[in-house]
């Protein structure tokens, strides 16, 4: 009920897919960040719309049993995490429910088997991050961090608990160094990445650094054993600050005796331990036979292609990024796999020659937009088994509906918690004819 025109007392009934609390006012719903189902709260409407309100928490009158104290001092301001106030067990259940609800609402289906969630470390798990950099005149210094929640401003943060060590302290380290440089207002972005034996920072620079700037960045490189790269334009403009000492970034998949090399801004799964579990589970579920021909769509660096090649007769990886295709082929050679090949192809086109061939197994790992175009052509390939790895449950459910219409059956599905404390849901689904 309304307390006065400025405040509302409400009960939270649900969470949205992005982790906001939902309260029901009859004709309208109220969306409130930082609250949980079952809680009685007082809120202040921030934005009133015809069909819903957005509001901020003013007072927690009755807390949920699943509420915990967020350990990060920046939670609530920083937009990097959405559900630190929810116990980790409840976070996993929330993400599983997001997937189940998407399958039910969009495809009216559920799998024969719900897979146990693939879990890793709750903290210090993130090995890759893109951070904003902004000089704030009022503070007299540069801020480096994730964007603030619901704004375009950069969070004033000295560290980040979800980043792997030592990347976790780099927001503060970079803030100090960039503040001293001539580029403090001409350096909008920093990308951090950790390989197993090397670290890298890619600084997006809008003008040439001075000799003093080079010395400052070189000091970071030496102190933190980190390779610094400068990006003056597009991806092809990235150059190492000290190329003679730059180390190769890599990660391993020990189950399959594989090592994969990658470049600083290449896409890799951010959570190393969960990625290992995901690859292991996909291979177990696909039950690849020595005579199988396997098609890996959106193959990237070969994260799935190369493990599949350990078991299959032939693997063809398809990827739209020519650089990733080149590095996937190099990774195959590095691991002495001669039954793999890779092809550059825009999978948003309507026709592909490889879809006219016979494939026993198909794996898809598309971006958030899903794989609608390719799924519509799957009936011409008719593999006996399909694995679909998704970072967006809604598009996975949409594509599931099409596969079912083609005669496929969803035998198993589940989540992989790639991003603890965020609302992001990574999922896997297996289909058979």
Residues annotated as catalytic (active site), given as ranges:
391
- What is d(CA 89, CA 80) in angstroms, rounded to the nearest whole number? 20
Whether residue 375 contacts residue 347, with contact meaning beta carbons closer than 8 Å, is answered with no
Closest CA to 163 of 78, 238, 85, 65: 78
d(CA 363, CA 274): 18
Which secondary structure element, helix H or strand E, spans residue 193, and what is its range? strand 189-194
Nearest Cα neighbor of 156 from 143, 169, 172 is: 143
- Count CA atoms closer than 13 A to 27's CA, side-chain side: 4
Q: Which of 53, 18, 23 is nearest to 40 (CA)?
A: 23
Q: 342 CB contacts (<8 Å, ≥6 apart)?
A: 299, 302, 305, 316, 317, 318, 319, 325, 328, 329, 332
Q: Longest C-alpha distance within the chain, in Å? A: 72
């Amino acid at each position: 009920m309304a307390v006065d025109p400025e405040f509302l007392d409400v009960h939270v009934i649900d969470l949205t897919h992005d982790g906001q609390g939902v309260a029901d006012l009859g004709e309208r719903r109220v969306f409130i960040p930082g609250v949980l189902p079952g809680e009685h709260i007082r809120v202040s409407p921030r934005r009133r719309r015809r069909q819903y309100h957005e509001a901020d928490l003013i007072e927690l009158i009755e807390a949920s049993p699943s509420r915990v104290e967020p350990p990060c001092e920046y939670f609530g301001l920083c937009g990097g995490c959405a559900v630190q106030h929810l116990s980790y067990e409840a976070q996993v259940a929330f993400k599983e429910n997001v997937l189940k609800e998407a399958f039910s609402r969009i495809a009216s289906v559920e799998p024969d088997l719900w897979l146990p969630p693939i879990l890793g470390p709750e903290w210090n798990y993130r090995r890759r991050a893109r951070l904003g950099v902004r000089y704030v005149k009022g503070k007299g210094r540069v801020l480096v961090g994730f964007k603030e929640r619901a704004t375009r401003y950069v969070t004033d943060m000295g560290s980040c608990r979800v980043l792997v060590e030592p990347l976790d302290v780099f927001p503060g380290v970079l803030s100090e160094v960039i503040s001293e440089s001539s580029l403090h207002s001409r350096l909008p972005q920093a990308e951090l990445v950790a390989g197993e034996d090397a670290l890298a920072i890619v600084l997006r620079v809008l003008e040439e650094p001075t000799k003093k700037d080079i010395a400052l960045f070189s000091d970071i490189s030496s102190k933190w054993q980190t390779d610094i790269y400068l990006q003056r334009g597009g991806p092809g403009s990235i150059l190492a600050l000290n190329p003679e000492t730059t180390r190769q970034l890599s990660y391993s998949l020990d189950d399959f005796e594989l090592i994969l090399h990658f470049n600083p801004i290449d896409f890799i799964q951010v959570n190393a331990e969960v990625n290992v579990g995901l690859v292991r589970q996909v291979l177990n579920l696909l039950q690849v036979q020595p005579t199988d021909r396997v098609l890996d769509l959106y193959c990237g660096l070969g994260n799935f292609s190369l493990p599949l090649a350990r078991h299959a007769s032939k693997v063809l990886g398809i990827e739209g990024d020519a650089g990733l295709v080149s590095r996937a082929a190099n990774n195959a050679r590095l691991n002495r796999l001669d039954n793999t090949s890779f092809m550059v192809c825009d999978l948003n086109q309507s026709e592909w020659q490889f879809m006219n061939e016979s494939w026993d197994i198909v794996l898809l790992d598309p971006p958030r937009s899903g794989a609608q175009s390719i799924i519509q052509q799957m009936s011409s390939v008719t593999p006996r088994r399909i694995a679909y790895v998704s970072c967006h449950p809604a598009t996975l459910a949409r594509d599931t509906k099409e596969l079912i219409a083609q005669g496929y059956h969803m035998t198993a599905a589940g989540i992989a918690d790639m991003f603890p404390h965020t609302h992001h849901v990574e999922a896997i689904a297996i289909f058979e004819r």
